[in-house]
Amino acid sequence: MKYYSTNGKADRATLREAVVKGLAGDKGLYMPEVIKRLPESFFDEIQDLSFQEVAYRVADAFFGEDVPADTLKQIVYDTLSFDCPVVKVTDTIYSLELFHGPTLAFKDVGARFMARLLGHFIKQEGTQQVNVLVATSGDTGSAVANGFLGVEGIHVYVLYPKGKVSAIQECQFTTLGRNITALEVDGVFDDCQALVKSAFMDEELNRHMKLTSANSINVARFLPQAFYYFYAYAQMKKLGKAGQLVVCVPSGNFGNITAGIFGKVMGLPVKRFIAANNANDIFYNYLQTGSYNPRPSVQTIANAMDVGDPSNFARIYDLYKGDHDAIAAEISGATYTDAQIAETVCNCYEQTGYLLDPHGACGFRALSEGLREGECGVFLETAHPAKFKSTVEGIINAPVAVPEKLAAFMKGQKQSVPMSRDFADFKAYLMSR
Ligand SMILES: *Cc1c(COP(=O)(O)O)cnc(C)c1O
């Protein structure tokens, strides 16, 4: 299968090229030329299949032409070493818990899949080691570092701003060792990102070592997110609740929801989607007005959704050929202030006993307000509430238990390389490796 760029000015790429490059040469996002429909028979039996079986069928539709069946199956099964259960919150609202992976957030799925697929291409080519550079303000670094941990032929450098990430987040990428190196940059997130960008553009450095990014727009991180929409449907069908299913996605860069929409194009019987935003309501405004006006992001307590120019909007726009009415017919929007998010976490906990994280709270609230007669809703619980421990404890006024997996990171020995924000220093360091 070939991949084209949403900007339409770059050559079509093979899967391998799209995965290694990430962004197309014209700065567009890669899209698969064909989105295959899955047969009716698959949906007839889906409720009896395991998560891994469901995911493999979806993966085969995207990647089956380009990756040998046994390899692809291995990649899918290795990626999904944890469950994504649907949990009842109210009679009509269910939580798809995507936080049972190594770093307790949904980005584990895409990061683990991408690491394994890239590992496959490197082995196949027999090329030199590939070095992944990733700048992080917290969550991406942990998902990528853990996703790539121990994958042969790949070394990961995580650049993070000194003193600007939470203690839990820092532990998730500084205690791993092996093929993961954490660089503690004396600066802010933008400095980290600038260092990574300069590295990709430096010819001498690129001759010295093979560099790539593990950005969330990469097709190998983006497409696997479709897996759990199918599995959520399977679980709801088993419960007899899938007749009029509404799926609500707390959204920032809109990669997650776009993968769900791809699922619908493949035949997944979802009635409609809701994109839940925090105060960064660029997409919400687009739905209301038909004009897309990006602006600088504002900081909220659902900080993984603090995005002022959602990159995957380009994919949604491309998929619907820019037809605003078609987009608005399939996706509705919601936007919540920090006060509303806090109120939702608090009320839901008191009334149902279910503890939401600030991102999932946007999803739960949008369903509470937006479900119509006869519909059932699933919202994506994108992270475990303990990842936002102090925020959530402040809201519910009670301690939040930290899962064993998260606590284990805190026990590890922090190891990081101090780095200035001067590119010459960063380059000299990489040239010495
Ligand atoms: C990344 C992230 C989101 C936003 O997902 P997008 O694919 O960028 O829309 C939501 N919640 C959490 C916890 C995240 O880490």
pLDDT digit string, tens, across residues 273-283: 999 999 999 99
- The rounded distance, in Å, linking the Cα atoms of 267 and 199 is 42
Tell me which residues of the chain have a pLDDT lower than 70. 127
- The rounded distance, in Å, linking the Cα atoms of 432 and 421 is 17
Q: What is the pLDDT of residue 68?
A: 97
* Closest of 117, 116, 278, 143 to residue 216, by C-alpha: 143
Q: Is 22 in the pocket of ligand 1 (CB under 6 A)?
A: no
Total residues found in the chain within this entry: 433
Q: What is the pLDDT of residue 137?
A: 82
CB 90 within 8 A of CB 39: no
Q: Is 140 in the pocket of ligand 1 (CB under 6 A)?
A: no
- The rounded distance, in Å, linking the Cα atoms of 394 and 133 is 35
DSSP type of residue 13: B
Distance, CA of 184 to chain centre: 23
Q: Is 382 in the pocket of ligand 1 (CB under 6 A)?
A: yes
What are the beta bridge partners of residue 249? 275
Q: Is 179 in the pocket of ligand 1 (CB under 6 A)?
A: no
Looking from the CA of residue 360, the nearest atom of ligand 1 is 11
Q: How many CB atoms neighbour CB 180 within 10 A?
A: 23
Residue having the nearest C-alpha atom to atom 11 of ligand 1? 382
- b/e sequence 378-408, b meaning 16+ C-beta within 10 Å: bbbbbbbbbbbbebbeebbeeebebeebbee
Give distance in angstroms: CA of 124 to centre of ligand 1: 32
DSSP type of residue 243: T
Q: Is 389 in the pocket of ligand 1 (CB under 6 A)?
A: no
Which mutation among 229, 303, 382, 392 tests ligand 1's pocket best, with the greatest number of atoms within 8 A of CB?
Answer: 382
Residue having the nearest C-alpha atom to atom 8 of ligand 1? 253
SS3 145: helix
- The rounded distance, in Å, linking the Cα atoms of 4 and 11 is 7
* Closest of 245, 253, 268 to residue 375, by C-alpha: 245
DSSP type of residue 375: -
Rg (CA), the chain: 21
